[in-house]
């Protein structure tokens, strides 16, 4: 049974390598995009925490900034 | 006119949707893989090698679909000068590119047991390779061209590249190629058995969800990048 699944009538190497390539590409792309997102969020967090209070208040009232802040821990600082 | 496309409104949706899309993707891909690898029947001629179809065909479909969408957005960018459209188009490109690579590589792997060769300069394969190159040009253009001109240049690349889409679709009808004619037709009866059609549809849904997930994450990244520049100017 296990042999049948692995060998797939002699086509196992082709089938498994095609599926492995696809899933590996998914994982790599996911982590590349995720790391870019985390990098930008951290950059935002650092810049926001370095703002003087009146500028930070100005940022907090803007819709798009509010959304980004609610997704980073910077808002809680 | 395009108030519904305001970045803050889209960001409020995209930032929350990611985790739900990820969960649904994991569920659908798990079902799809079980169906594709274990439950679907083998082909009477191609035997188990037919299972490669469940990654090759959806990857090709999604890759074509995404490029068509990018081209449509590019036309809108040139007409309406809407910056949100360029952000959306830019964020769609990475997953489209990966799917074109997956279609080419899995097609090559499938070609070896089926046609006895890894590669042939067949009309469908060559036009698919050209699509991959257009994706590459599009992504590289966003990186190397100055932000002021990137919108226009990338839009032109996408509009020129979309001419290749009907060539890919109809290449099997226009020329004598190694590929078989389409088995799935929207307007006429499909020639594929439902026991193979069901896993194919499930895998296509999973791949579409994956591209949506990547799009959402990339869109959020691009928007935060813009807001970071905004903080610098404060």
Q: Rounded to the nearest 5 degrees, what angle is found at the Cα of B195, between the Cα atoms of B193 and B197? A: 65
Mean pLDDT value across residues B167-181: 80
Q: Which of B49, B218, B224 sits opposite A41 (nearest CB)?
A: B224
Can you tell me the distance from the alpha carbon of B19 to that of B141, in angstroms, rounded to the nearest whole number? 30
Q: Does A35 touch chain B (CB under 8 A)?
A: no
Mean pLDDT value across residues B186-198: 79
Give contacts of B231 with chain A, Cβ < 8 Å: 44, 47-48, 51, 59
B43 phi and psi angles, rounded to 5 deg: -80, 150
Q: What is the pTM for the complete model shown?
A: 0.88
Residue A10 has pLDDT above 60, yes or no: yes
Binned at pLDDT 50, 70 and 90, residue B6 comes out as low
Please tell me the distance in Å from A49's CA to the nearest CA on chain B: 11
A28 phi and psi angles, rounded to 5 deg: -65, -50
Give the pLDDT confidence score for residue A27 in this predicted structure. Answer: 98
Q: Does A8 touch chain B (CB under 8 A)?
A: yes
pLDDT tens track for B13-29: 877 889 999 999 999 99
A15, closest residue in chain B (CA to CA) = B52
pLDDT tens track for B50-68: 999 999 999 999 999 999 9
Residue B75 has pLDDT above 50, yes or no: yes
A16, closest residue in chain B (CA to CA) = B52
Binned at pLDDT 50, 70 and 90, residue B7 comes out as low
């Amino acid at each position: 049974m296990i042999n049948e699944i692995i060998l797939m009538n002699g086509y196992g190497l082709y089938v498994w390598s095609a599926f492995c390539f696809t899933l590996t590409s998914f994982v790599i792309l996911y982590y590349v995009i995720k790391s870019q997102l985390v990098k930008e969020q951290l950059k935002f967090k650092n810049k926001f925490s370095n703002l003087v209070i009146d500028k930070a208040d100005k940022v907090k009232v803007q819709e798009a900034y509010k959304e980004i802040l609610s997704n980073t821990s910077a808002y809680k600082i | 006119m395009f108030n519904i496309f305001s970045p803050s409104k889209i960001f409020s949706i995209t930032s929350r949707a990611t985790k739900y899309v990820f969960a649904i993707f994991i569920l659908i891909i798990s079902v799809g893989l079980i169906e594709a690898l274990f439950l679907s029947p083998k082909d009477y001629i191609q035997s188990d090698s037919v299972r490669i179809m469940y990654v090759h065909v959806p990857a090709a479909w999604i890759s074509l679909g995404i490029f068509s969408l990018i081209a449509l957005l590019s036309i809108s960018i040139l007409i309406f000068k809407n910056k949100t459209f360029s952000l959306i188009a830019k964020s769609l490109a990475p997953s489209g590119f990966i799917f074109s690579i997956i279609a080419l590589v899995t097609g090559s792997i499938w070609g070896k047991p089926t046609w006895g060769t890894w590669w042939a300069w067949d009309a469908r394969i060559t036009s698919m390779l050209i699509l991959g190159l257009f994706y590459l040009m599009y992504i590289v253009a966003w990186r190397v061209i100055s932000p002021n001109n990137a919108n226009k240049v990338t839009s032109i690349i996408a509009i020129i590249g979309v001419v290749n889409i009907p060539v890919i679709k109809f290449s099997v009808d226009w020329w004598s190629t190694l590929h078989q004619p389409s088995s799935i037709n929207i307007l006429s009866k499909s020639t594929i058995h439902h026991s193979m059609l069901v896993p194919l549809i499930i895998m296509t849904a999973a791949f579409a969800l994956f591209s949506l997930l990547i799009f959402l994450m990339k869109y959020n990244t691009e928007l935060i990048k813009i807001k970071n520049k905004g903080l610098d100017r404060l």
